[in-house]
């Protein structure tokens, strides 16, 4: 779909030590979301190879976007050089306050458990689209 996109720069502003086993979270139908610099959104770990709806989720926390751009399903989420997982979808339960950005985590653990701290840098790496044509 895209021939190129910029990575996002973010910073963790609130790290969570929270787990739910009854969430029944499902992504919206959207594959991309435009994010403005300064917005704060929540990152929710749905674990490796999630089957939606997902009940067991681990919350990484909230991050502020320092840059604007287009975030897409399949983009990598990286904190301090460590890949936490890939964007799996967007949940709009709390909109217009914030998105729940669903992350297919490499392991099903929350932000506190993996050592994330407020103030740490976060970034995304755009997925490589195999289809470079528009539609």
Q: Can you give the pLDDT at residue 132?
A: 39
Q: Is the pTM of this model over 0.75?
A: yes
> How many angstroms separate the CA atoms of 67 and 51, rounded?
31
Give the pLDDT of residue 130: 59
Residue 86: which of 118, 131, 55, 126 has the closest Cα?
A: 126
**For residue 95, how many C-alpha atoms fall within 13 Å in the half-sphere facing its CB?**
10
Give residue-wise pLDDT tens across range 74-98: 999 999 999 999 999 999 999 999 9
Please give the Cα distance from 46 to 32 (Å, whole number): 18
Measured between alpha carbons, how far is residue 86 from residues 43, 96, 102, 121 in Å? Answer: 11, 23, 8, 17
């Amino acid at each position: 779909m895209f021939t190129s996109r910029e990575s996002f720069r973010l910073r963790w502003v609130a790290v969570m030590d929270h787990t739910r086993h009854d969430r029944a979270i499902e992504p919206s139908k959207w594959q991309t979301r435009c994010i403005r610099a300064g917005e704060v959104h929540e990152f929710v770990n749905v674990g490796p190879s999630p089957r939606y709806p997902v009940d067991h989720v681990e919350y990484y926390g909230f991050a502020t976007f320092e840059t604007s751009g287009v975030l897409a399903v399949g983009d990598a989420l990286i904190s301090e050089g460590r890949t936490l997982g890939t964007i799996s979808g967007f949940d709009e339960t709390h909109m217009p306050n914030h998105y729940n950005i669903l992350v297919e985590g490499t392991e099903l653990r929350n932000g506190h458990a993996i050592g994330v701290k407020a103030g740490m840098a976060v970034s995304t790496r755009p997925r490589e689209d195999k289809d470079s044509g528009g539609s």
